[in-house]
Amino acid sequence: MYKAVVIGGSAGSFQVITKILNSLPKNFPLPVLLSLHRLKHVRSGFVEALSIKSKIPIVEPYDKETIKPGKGYLAPSNYHMYVELNKRIALSTEEPVNHSRPSIDLTFETAAQAYRDKIIGIILSGANRDGAYGLKKLKQLGGTAIVQDPEECQVRTMTEASLKLTAVDHIFTTQQIINFLLKLK
Amino acid sequence: MNRYEIGIVDTRNIIKTLQDVYDYDFKNYALTFFKRRVERSIQKHSLRDAAAFIKKITQEKDFFEIFLQEMCVDTTEMFRDPSVWRLLNEEMLTELISNKPNFKIWFPEASSGEELFSLAIVLKKINLLNNVKFVVSSLSEKNIEKIQNGAFDPKKIETNDVNFKRIYSDANLSDFYTLKSDEAHWDTSLIENTKFIKQNIIFDDYPKGVKLILFRNKMIYFNQILQERFIKIIYNSLVPGGHLIIGNNEQIDYWNSDKDYTVVNKSESIYKKKLS
């Protein structure tokens, strides 16, 4: 019944993200949208690092690329990544939000508008408050909200900010997130 | 942080209003982008909601002009993606422009003027600025005035300097601007040879005989229909052998690019129009 997964992460999320991606099967039935804070001047290397052991292909999408299941879409450095209602990626150089471009809030909010109740949003470790508002929107529009257990996070600010704003569906460890995703059909 | 939000229906109503009242057709802008720009405007001008926005923009022509300026995304930076500028500076521009007076360069959908001033500075440093003629087109008259007087946000100085140093480690960007109290201005002699065009969304009157087009991160605000329309205009505007530079994550694959262009540099998205 779900149509997409959207994941936001910042400081301390890289290992969690790779662990999740590496666990997904090649025929994972949903697209995975990744909005991760990253160095602005380092354009290459990140998608390659995420791809090393991932069985699903990970790309930095082109603007207006059609979103397809079984593929990971990483927000390119120094761009916001939106989801259009027709399920295409749209990129933007509008002002940073919460000092961030890409902004996790904006990816979550637009993805939630496009997928309504058919989306899972996951907030991971991070050192600022980005993502909290986006996760709230996602939950309001009927999506399933998951936050990484702050106890497990390297930096817990981001997950705690999300929990403060939203009554989430699940607080999960990395392994529980993986188990949850693997049960999806 | 709370943002004011409007619905999709409101967004479509606003698009229709602008079409009916001003004959500006925004329906082929990327919807998420257009919606966000309206929300930003509603918040900035302390309007109550979408209905208040519609009322104000219908009644006040000047507010419409302000909105057009707000549609221009001016939040990028000078020398965005230093690697492409390094490439232009080190070989490409000298090879293209040397001994060719009146080399015409077009900046469609100019917003901040940052691409214009960046290129002008690169050309100045290799003594080729006098060989070129710039054409700058923008949706907004107010925005054109802003570019013409060289104003920019002093908050950007730090980012701009960092980018500049990645290209010119032994020079200072401050040679090209003045900073007085909290106002910053580019040296407008950099853009003396510039023709400004106020464009509508559909523009029939575009420059011809252009040899280089800088069109980075502008098409991302359009949907596929408007992108394809622009792609045709760009192609017709360029001379055979003319060059096109688009943004890193913009694509031309679906516009039959193999037939029309050769790839000069894939990672920096530089293309050359085929001779026939």
Q: Dump pLDDT digits (tens) for A9-37.
A: 999 999 999 999 999 999 999 999 999 99
Rounded average pLDDT over B124-153: 95
- CA distance from start to end of chain B: 54
Q: Note whether A92 contacts B248, CB cutoff 8 Å.
A: no
The reply to whether B60 and B187 lie within a common domain is no
Collect all residues of chain A within an 8 Å Cβ-Cβ radius of residue B223.
64, 84
Distances in whole angstroms, Cα of residue A93 to Cα of each of A152, A175, B226:
33, 35, 18
* Cα torsion through B222, B159, B120, B80, rounded to 10: -40
Q: B256 pLDDT exceeds 80?
A: no
Is B36 part of the contact surface with chain A (CB cutoff 8 Å)? yes
- Out of A43, A63, A129, whose CB is closest to B220? A63
The reply to whether B57 and B162 lie within a common domain is no
Minimum CA–CA partner of A114 in chain B: B32
Instruction: Mark B148-178 as b/e (b = at least 16 C-beta within 10 Å).
Output: eebebebebbeebebbbeebbeeeebeebbe
Is A41 part of the contact surface with chain B (CB cutoff 8 Å)? yes
What is the band of A42 on the pLDDT scale with cuts at 50, 70, 90?
confident
Instruction: Check residue B253 and give its pLDDT.
Output: 66
- Residues of A that are catalytic: 10, 37, 130
Q: Note whether A82 contacts B33, CB cutoff 8 Å.
A: yes
CA atoms within 13 A on the CB side of A119: 31
Collect all residues of chain A within an 8 Å Cβ-Cβ radius of residue B220.
63-64, 79, 90-93
Minimum CA–CA partner of B73 in chain A: A94
- Residue A174 sits in a domain of what CATH number? 3.40.50.180
Collect all residues of chain A within an 8 Å Cβ-Cβ radius of residue B227.
64
Is B260 part of the contact surface with chain A (CB cutoff 8 Å)? no
- Residue B185 sits in a domain of what CATH number? 3.40.50.150
Tell which wins on pLDDT, A90 or B203.
Answer: A90
The reply to whether B166 and B266 lie within a common domain is yes
Q: Which residue has the tokens 């020398």?
A: B79
Q: Residue B56: which domain range?
A: 8-71
Q: Residue B195: inside a domain, yes or no?
A: yes
Q: A146 pLDDT exceeds 50?
A: yes
Q: Residue B90: inside a domain, yes or no?
A: yes
Instruction: Check residue B254 and give its pLDDT.
Output: 60
Q: Are B230 and B108 in contact (CB under 8 A)?
A: yes
The reply to whether B41 and B109 lie within a common domain is no
Using only C-alpha atoms, what is the Rg of chain B?
19
Q: Are B231 and B222 in contact (CB under 8 A)?
A: no
Beta strands across the sheet bearing A58-59: A58-59, A72-74, A32-36, A4-9, A119-123, A144-148, A170-172
The reply to whether B126 and B212 lie within a common domain is yes
Is B221 part of the contact surface with chain A (CB cutoff 8 Å)? yes
Q: Note whether B73 contacts A92, CB cutoff 8 Å.
A: yes
Collect all residues of chain A within an 8 Å Cβ-Cβ radius of residue B166.
41
The reply to whether B127 and B208 lie within a common domain is yes
Residues 6 or more apart whose CB falls under 8 angstroms from that of B46 comprise none
What is the band of B1 on the pLDDT scale with cuts at 50, 70, 90?
very low
As given in the structure block, the two tokens for residue B115 are 């691409």
DSSP category for residue A143: P
Instruction: Check residue B117 and give its pLDDT.
Output: 97
What's the CA gap between A83 and A109, in Å, rounded? 9
The reply to whether B48 and B129 lie within a common domain is no
What is the band of B154 on the pLDDT scale with cuts at 50, 70, 90?
very high
What's the CA gap between B133 and A169, in Å, rounded? 59
Is B251 part of the contact surface with chain A (CB cutoff 8 Å)? yes
What's the structural domain count of chain B? 2
What's the CA gap between A34 and A158, in Å, rounded? 16
Cis peptide before A102 (omega within 30 of 0): yes
What is the band of B2 on the pLDDT scale with cuts at 50, 70, 90?
low
Helix (H) / strand (E) element for B84: namely helix B82-87
Rounded average pLDDT over B165-193: 94
Instruction: Check residue B265 and give its pLDDT.
Output: 93
The reply to whether B66 and B114 lie within a common domain is no
Collect all residues of chain A within an 8 Å Cβ-Cβ radius of residue B251.
62-65
The reply to whether B173 and B235 lie within a common domain is yes
Q: B225 pLDDT exceeds 70?
A: yes
Minimum CA–CA partner of B252 in chain A: A62
Q: Residue B36: inside a domain, yes or no?
A: yes
What's the CA gap between B84 and B99, in Å, rounded? 23
The reply to whether B96 and B204 lie within a common domain is yes
Q: Which of B240, B14, B234 is nearest to B137 (CA)?
A: B234
Q: Note whether A113 contacts B249, CB cutoff 8 Å.
A: no
Is A134 part of the contact surface with chain B (CB cutoff 8 Å)? no
Q: A88 pLDDT exceeds 80?
A: yes
Pairing of the two strands B270-273 and B261-265: antiparallel
- Out of A62, A93, A106, whose CB is closest to B217? A93
Distances in whole angstroms, Cα of residue B91 to Cα of each of A15, B87, B181, B217, B241:
41, 6, 38, 23, 17
The reply to whether B109 and B154 lie within a common domain is yes
3-state SS, residue B98:
coil
Rounded average pLDDT over B86-93: 91
CA atoms within 13 A on the CB side of A169: 18
Is A173 part of the contact surface with chain B (CB cutoff 8 Å)? no
As given in the structure block, the two tokens for residue B28 are 């082929």
What's the CA gap between A27 and B90, in Å, rounded? 46
Q: A41 pLDDT exceeds 80?
A: no
Q: Residue A105: which domain range?
A: 4-182
What's the CA gap between B237 and B168, in Å, rounded? 32
The reply to whether B92 and B157 lie within a common domain is yes
Rounded average pLDDT over B114-126: 96
Would the pTM of this model clear 0.90, i.e. be above it?
yes
Judging by beta carbons within 10 Å of its beta carbon (0-12, 13-18, 19+), is residue B209 exposed, middle or buried? Answer: exposed
What's the structural domain count of chain A? 1
Instruction: Check residue B90 and give its pLDDT.
Output: 85
